């Protein structure tokens, strides 16, 4: 029986072949890579659809072309040589570029396979478009160039350390400059080579710090680094762990701080020098105050004595008044100079107490009213209803207000007015002391500097109003020490000025008086004056005798001790700096140890008035320390009010 055409083996085989060829063609046309089939002479005999689309040709156009027309990097001669290599190796892989119909190029990665079928030779090439890869590579290269440029421009030395091998993997140019190594030599270094081993870290400690950084603990420290030539220099090192390419790396940034260390050392030395100069200045000022006060003391006492001895002579009364006023001015200048120095050195000790402000301000106003009126300046006082309580040092606060009144007097012409005012803000728990004048005013540009020591508001010689420029600086220092603040205001030159001192109100519930006066009945006292300055001793002797006291004198401690044991004075007024082997402190100690003399009232009268001097006087056994030149009437009150031997508590 004859077979049907559909069952003819040859026909069936051809059908299968046609299907396979169709699938093969479909596959290569759908491939993402361009596929080329080339004869040995370079002529293209087949391409896939991808190649046509990529290059912009039809299939018929491409089958009429040679490979070197597609790939301009391979002219005919190069292709023929390339063919021989392909035959020898069987497979080649390279990067090139194909030219599109419009003349543009597309970068490709090509794999070419040598094929042979019978006596026929040909090549099959797969070309993959690597435009994105090339773009990424270009971007990466540019990024690396930028990174390298930044890396090398950084002023800190930077190196990348491999914690596994202990070597340096990369360095910047600054590292090479700082340590003196060429790049290639630096890349072979170990960290221990460039660390000095000098304090503050040994090489072992430096490696331990590096190990901690490799464990993820950032390190920031200073150490000595070692230059290639052996020179040591100070650096600041910052170590941090970073992951680079999946590997742990320690990034080390090093900053040369040699200059900073040099400046810090200079600053330290200069600070020590300034501290020493400050100590010398304090000693000098203390000695200056002592030497200036010593001659002022007899002048002041002599003026008081003259006025008492010749009360009916108006000329002597006027001369005495002038002398006392000028002595007070000199004393104020000396005290201001010493106090500003003490504040700057932190050596002012305050004795804060609960203080009724209205009474203190009224007393200060009464004290300064004659001074202002003598300059034909009126003083107006506007105080709140008492009581107004603050926690302050009464003497220092009185000094603050007095300085402000003195400042107002200095810069207010005759016919002007000074006003002292007290305001209370119960809500803010503050009291404000205002001193306002109608004087020359303050230029706006000087307001910020009026509290600076030695700053003169009117520095021109033709309008010099005197003073050292310390009064306001002292005001600021004393107010701030007591927890307050001070402010200067002025509407400008010729429009007056005002100074506002603000203090916190005392919040204690009770309102007991801060101080209690002691009334004593006057009677004549036996007083021994111990003073090596003949003028000071003579004037003090004359004044106290004029007050009705029985007075003797001694020029040194030994003579004073003899008179004390023989005459038994009730009160000893004693200078501290005495000639001979014993000073006033030594005399006080002997008197206090003698049971027969221990109730003698001891008054230290010294040109040294610092807190340290007062402390030493108390420790030596003095009942009170008075700084020269003392107001004779104040000294008279101390003498008259001193407890008698029977009334005085015993001292051991």
Q: What is the CATH number of the domain that holds 400?
A: 3.30.565.10
> What's the CA gap between 219 and 70, in Å, rounded?
59
Which of 475, 493, 495 is closest to 485 using CA atoms? 475
Domain that holds residue 600: 526-641
Say yes or no: 176 and 199 in one domain.
yes
Segment 172-227, tens digit of pLDDT: 888 888 888 898 888 877 766 666 555 566 667 777 887 888 888 888 888 888 88
Final residue belonging to a domain, choices 83, 98, 129 = 129
Say yes or no: 122 and 141 in one domain.
no
Say yes or no: 158 and 83 in one domain.
no
- The total number of structural domains in the chain stands at 4
Q: What is the CATH number of the domain that holds 152?
A: 3.30.450.20
Segment 573-599, tens digit of pLDDT: 999 989 989 999 999 999 999 988 988
Say yes or no: 545 and 478 in one domain.
no
Residue 17 lies in a domain: no
Q: Which of 208-217, 497-506, 636-645 is modeled with the greatest confidence? A: 497-506
Mean per-residue pLDDT, 75-82:
82
Say yes or no: 119 and 144 in one domain.
no
Is the pLDDT assigned to residue 371 strictly greater than 90?
Answer: no
Which of 459, 411, 419 is closest to 435 using CA atoms? 419
DSSP-assigned states of every residue in 9-66: HHHHHHHHHHHHHHHHHHHHHH-SSEEEEE-TTSBEEEE-HHHHHHHT--HHHHHTSB
What local confidence, expressed as pLDDT, does residue 630 receive? Answer: 77
Burial label, 292 (beta-carbon count in 10 A; 0-12, 13-18, 19+): middle
Is the pLDDT assigned to residue 476 strictly greater than 70?
Answer: yes
Say yes or no: 86 and 157 in one domain.
no
Furthest C-alpha separation in the chain: 180
Is the pLDDT assigned to residue 519 strictly greater than 50?
Answer: no
* Of 320 and 141, more confident: 141
For 63, 391, 397, 479, 622, the CA distances from 474, given in Å and listed in that order, are 105, 19, 11, 8, 29
Q: What is the CATH number of the domain that holds 621?
A: 3.40.50.2300
Mean per-residue pLDDT, 434-443:
92
Residue 605 sits at φ, ψ, to 5 deg, of -120, 105
> What's the CA gap between 190 and 187, in Å, rounded?
9
What local confidence, expressed as pLDDT, does residue 312 receive? Answer: 66
Say yes or no: 371 and 485 in one domain.
yes
Please give the structure tokens belonging to residue 522: 């006057």
Mean per-residue pLDDT, 32-58:
91
Of the pLDDT bands very low, low, confident and very high (cuts 50, 70, 90), residue 432 is: very high
Mean per-residue pLDDT, 609-631:
86
Say yes or no: 100 and 208 in one domain.
no
* Of 386 and 502, more confident: 502
Residue 7 lies in a domain: no
Q: Which of 108-117, 281-290, 446-455 is modeled with the greatest confidence? A: 108-117
Say yes or no: 110 and 252 in one domain.
no
What local confidence, expressed as pLDDT, does residue 650 receive? Answer: 40
Q: Percent of the chain at pLDDT above 90? A: 25
Residue 12 lies in a domain: no
The mean of the pLDDT values for the chain is 82
Which of 504, 79, 545 is closest to 301 using CA atoms? 545
Model pTM score: 0.43
Is the pLDDT assigned to residue 468 strictly greater than 60?
Answer: no
Final residue belonging to a domain, choices 193, 223, 256 = 256
Residue 423 lies in a domain: yes
Say yes or no: 168 and 116 in one domain.
no
Residue 271 lies in a domain: no
Mean per-residue pLDDT, 526-549:
86
What local confidence, expressed as pLDDT, does residue 518 receive? Answer: 37
Mean per-residue pLDDT, 18-46:
83
Mean pLDDT is lowest, of 15-24, 72-81, 111-120, 442-451, for 15-24
Which of 229, 232, 169 is closest to 197 using CA atoms? 232
What local confidence, expressed as pLDDT, does residue 347 receive? Answer: 61
Final residue belonging to a domain, choices 227, 256, 285 = 256
What local confidence, expressed as pLDDT, does residue 69 receive? Answer: 87
What local confidence, expressed as pLDDT, does residue 571 receive? Answer: 94
Say yes or no: 150 and 125 in one domain.
no
Residue 588 lies in a domain: yes
Residue 77 lies in a domain: yes
Residue 280 lies in a domain: no
The DSSP symbol for 555 reads S
């Amino acid at each position: 029986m004859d077979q049907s055409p559909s069952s003819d083996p040859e026909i069936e085989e051809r059908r299968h072949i046609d299907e396979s060829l169709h699938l093969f063609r479909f596959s290569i046309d759908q491939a993402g890579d361009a596929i080329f089939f080339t004869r040995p002479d370079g002529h293209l005999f087949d391409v896939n659809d991808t190649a046509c689309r990529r290059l912009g040709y039809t299939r018929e156009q491409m089958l009429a072309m040679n490979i070197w027309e597609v790939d301009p990097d391979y002219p005919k001669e190069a292709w023929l040589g390339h063919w021989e290599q392909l035959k020898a190796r069987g497979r080649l892989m390279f990067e090139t570029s194909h030219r599109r119909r419009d003349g543009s190029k597309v970068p490709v990665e090509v794999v070419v396979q040598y094929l042979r079928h019978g006596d026929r030779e040909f090549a099959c090439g797969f070309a993959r478009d690597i435009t994105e890869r090339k773009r990424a590579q270009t971007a990466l290269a540019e990024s690396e160039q930028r990174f390298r440029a930044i890396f090398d421009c950084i002023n800190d030395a930077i190196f990348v350390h491999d914690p596994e091998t202990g070597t340096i993997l990369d360095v910047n140019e600054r590292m090479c400059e700082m340590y003196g190594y060429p790049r290639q030599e630096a890349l072979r270094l170990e960290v221990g080579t460039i660390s000095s081993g000098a304090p503050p870290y040994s090489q072992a400690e430096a490696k331990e710090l590096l190990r901690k950084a490799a464990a993820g603990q950032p390190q920031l420290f200073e150490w000595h680094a070692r230059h290639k030539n052996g020179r040591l220099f100070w650096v600041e090192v910052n170590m941090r762990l970073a992951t680079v390419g999946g590997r742990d790396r320690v990034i080390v940034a090093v900053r040369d701080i040699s200059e900073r260390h040099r400046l810090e050392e200079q600053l330290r030395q200069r600070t020590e020098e300034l501290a020493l100069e400050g100590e010398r200045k304090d000693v000098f000022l203390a000695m200056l105050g002592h030497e200036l006060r010593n001659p002022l003391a007899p002048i002041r006492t002599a003026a008081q004595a003259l006025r008492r001895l010749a009360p009916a002579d108006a000329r002597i009364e006027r001369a005495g008044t002038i002398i006392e006023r000028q002595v007070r001015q000199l004393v104020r200048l000396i005290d201001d100079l010493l106090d500003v120095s003490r504040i700057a050195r932190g050596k002012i000790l305050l004795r804060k107490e609960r203080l009724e402000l209205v009474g203190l301000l009224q007393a200060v106003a009464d004290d300064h009213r004659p001074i202002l009126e003598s300059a034909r300046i009126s003083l107006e006082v506007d105080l709140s209803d008492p009581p107004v309580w603050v926690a302050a040092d009464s003497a220092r606060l009185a000094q603050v207000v007095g300085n402000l009144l003195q400042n107002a007097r200095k810069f207010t012409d005759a016919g002007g007015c000074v006003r002292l005012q007290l305001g209370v803000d119960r809500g803010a728990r503050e009291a404000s002391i205002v001193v306002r004048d109608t004087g020359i005013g303050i230029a706006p540009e000087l307001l910020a500097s009026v509290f600076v020591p030695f700053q003169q508001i009117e520095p021109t010689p033709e309008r010099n109003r005197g003073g050292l420029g310390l009064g306001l600086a002292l005001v600021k220092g004393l107010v701030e020490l007591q927890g307050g603040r001070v402010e200067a205001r002025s509407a400008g030159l010729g429009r007056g000025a005002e100074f506002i001192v603000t203090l916190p109100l005392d919040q204690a519930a009770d309102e007991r008086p801060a101080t209690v006066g002691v009334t004593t009945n006057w009677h004549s006292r036996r007083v021994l004056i111990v003073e090596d300055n003949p003028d000071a001793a003579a004037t003090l002797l004359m004044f106290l005798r004029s007050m009705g006291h029985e007075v003797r004198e001694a020029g040194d401690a030994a003579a004073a001790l003899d008179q004390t044991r023989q005459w038994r004075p009730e009160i000893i007024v004693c200078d501290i700096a005495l000639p001979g082997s014993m000073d006033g402190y030594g005399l006080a100690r002997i008197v206090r140890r003698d049971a027969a003399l221990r109730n003698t009232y001891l008054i230290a009268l010294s040109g040294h008035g610092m807190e340290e001097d007062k402390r030493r006087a108390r420790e030596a056994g003095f009942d009170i320390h008075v700084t020269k030149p003392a107001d004779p009437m104040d000294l008279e009150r101390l003498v008259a009010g001193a407890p008698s031997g029977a009334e005085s508590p015993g001292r051991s």
